[in-house]
Amino acid sequence: VRCQHYPPLRALQASAVLRGVSDEHKKEPFTSSSQQQFDPHPAGHQPEQEPQGPHPSYTGQGGQESEDYESEEQLQRRILTAALEFVPEHGWTAEAIAEGAKTLGLSVAAAGMFHSDGSELILHFVSECNAKLSELLEKEQKLVQLGEAEKKPTDEFLRDAVEARLRMLIPYIEKWPQALSVLLLPRNIPSSLSLLTSMIDDIWHYAGDQSTDFNWYTRRAVLTGIYNTTELVMLQDSSPDFEDTWRFLENRVADAMNMSNTASQVQSTGEAVVQGLMGAAVTVSNGGIECLS
């Protein structure tokens, strides 16, 4: 019986089991009964070389961790990153994860660590893309601060940031609709929503937003709308290099800018009208008083 959720094993044990064949630590004292949950398929796979990344040194059950200790989280991330290569072929599935694990010299049973619907893989991908976007925006900002680049006007900045982020989907675009539906599962909504909001907040932060009133919310809501609709358009787009999508994006951003200009125009017109009425009222009342006298 393959178990989807397993109690948090010490990474030592998990890594050791997954490696199927372990070299110098075969006599590692496994005391936990949770080993039964794994169906290790060593598949005769002898790792010719150590997998890349920190060389884990097992220091026993005592819990004293050496510097090369790789946490379970780090291991999972490595597997998921490796799995991304196989997504265009297998989709966001356990197969892709299994293939990824194989390239790292691990047993395909590694896929058992994750949900069969690929939730963790997709969330990992989204989080990686967001991190890449942040790095990109940070670099751009440094260039502007050093005077090596011009500061972009807001609409251009937003357009470029959203385009950069959406372009990261291109290699996986065929399978992206599947990913979106998984992200909308009730179980995943808190995480996917939080990833979305932090990405949008990042974009506005680097765009130079310093609002501390309700605008903080309206701006983010508007940009989220732009991002989501553009993403959906991109899924249907078959034009060369997605030019239709970028044109759609440009129009939506322009709409948003117009909306905010219109809003401030309406406000100043309104204020002018009120002042006019007040003036008229004063004139009338003065005229009335003069009539009486």
Partner 1 sequence: VPAGGAATRPCSTRAALQGINKPVIDRIIRVDHAGEYGANRIYAGQMAVLGRSSVGPVIQQMWDQEKDHLKKFNELMVAYRVRPTVLLPFWNVAGFVLGAGSALLGKKGAMACTVAVEESISDHYNNQIRTLMEEDPEKYKELLQVIKQFRDDEWEHHDIGIEHDAEATPAYSVLKTAIQLGCKAAIFLSERI
Interface with partner 1 by CB under 8 A: which residues?
138, 141-142, 144-147, 201, 205-206, 208, 210, 212-214, 216-217
Closer of 146 and 291 to partner 1 (Cβ): 146
CB of residue 147 to partner 1, shortest distance in Å: 6
CB of residue 139 to partner 1, shortest distance in Å: 12
CB of residue 203 to partner 1, shortest distance in Å: 13
Instruction: Determine contact, residues 84/126, Cβ cutoff 8 Å.
Output: no
Closer of 210 and 293 to partner 1 (Cβ): 210
Q: Largest alpha-carbon pair distance within the chain?
A: 113
Phi, psi of 244 (to 5 degrees): -60, -40
CB of residue 81 to partner 1, shortest distance in Å: 24
Closer of 212 and 264 to partner 1 (Cβ): 212
C-alpha pair distances (Å), 113 with each of 33, 73, 242? 17, 11, 36
Of 100, 223, 83, 98, the C-alpha closest to 157 is: 223
Helix-, strand-, coil-residue percentages of the chain, each rounded to 5: 65, 0, 35
Instruction: Determine contact, residues 93/118, Cβ cutoff 8 Å.
Output: yes
Closer of 31 and 212 to partner 1 (Cβ): 212
Closer of 55 and 151 to partner 1 (Cβ): 151
Q: Which residues of 185-211 are buried (b: 16+ CB within 10 A; e: fewer)?
A: eeebeebbeebbeebbbbbbebbebee
CB of residue 146 to partner 1, shortest distance in Å: 7
CB of residue 212 to partner 1, shortest distance in Å: 5
Closer of 75 and 161 to partner 1 (Cβ): 161
CB of residue 154 to partner 1, shortest distance in Å: 14
Output the CA torsion sign for 230, 231, 233, 237: positive
CA–chain centroid gap for 287, Å, is 67
Closer of 43 and 263 to partner 1 (Cβ): 263
C-alpha pair distances (Å), 86 with each of 43, 91, 150, 265? 20, 7, 39, 52
* Distance in angstroms (rounded) separating the CA atoms of residues 99 and 80: 10
Closer of 221 and 266 to partner 1 (Cβ): 221
Of 117, 113, 162, 101, the C-alpha closest to 7 is: 113
CB of residue 214 to partner 1, shortest distance in Å: 6
